[in-house]
Amino acid sequence: MSADPVRDPWLPAMRLALAEAARAPQSGDVPVGAVVLGPDGTVLGRGRNEREAGGDPTAHAEVLALRAAARALGGWRLGGCTLVVTLEPCTMCAGALVLARVDRVVYGARDAKAGAAGSLWDVVRDRRLNHRPEVVPGVLADACGDLLTAFFRGRPDTDFGAAPGMG
């Protein structure tokens, strides 16, 4: 995507998500970061992967950012909000953002192994569901992918595999 903020209004938010992602490896977590923007563009929630840090399989960046946004708004319905995340959401996170009624998901890198916003699955646009958010893929995709590649390149062979994933 373009690096021009006039043509791509999601760049500032994706840079915030990248900053969150960059902090995740300090605890051994995969570098994925997310922010939730309110209808006016205010940051309502932030998150980064914390599965290793907290021993919690649900502590994905998206889920943590959605929880923070719900606390900020005082309720679980996040209509009018946008989730910006460095890696395409997995099925769990895609389900969570659909159930939270998020209007839009903006992501950076595709996840061919676990992506559920158009790559492997398309949970967020499944016509059988009662809510289908808009999907904006590829924002700062190279920067998001580079962060993941560098992380996995430095690890011994694990159950993560050699490619990005585990959003």
Cα dihedral across residues 101, 109, 63, 57: positive or negative: positive
The Cα-based distances of 62 to 7, 65, 127, 158 in angstroms read 25, 5, 22, 23
Q: Tell me if residue 62 is catalytic.
A: yes
CA distance 75 to 73: 6
Question: Measuring CA to CA, which residue among 32, 29, 37 is closest to residue 11?
Answer: 37
Secondary structure letter of residue 100 according to DSSP? T
Residue among 20, 50, 62, 88 flagged as catalytic: 62
Active-site residues, by number, are 62
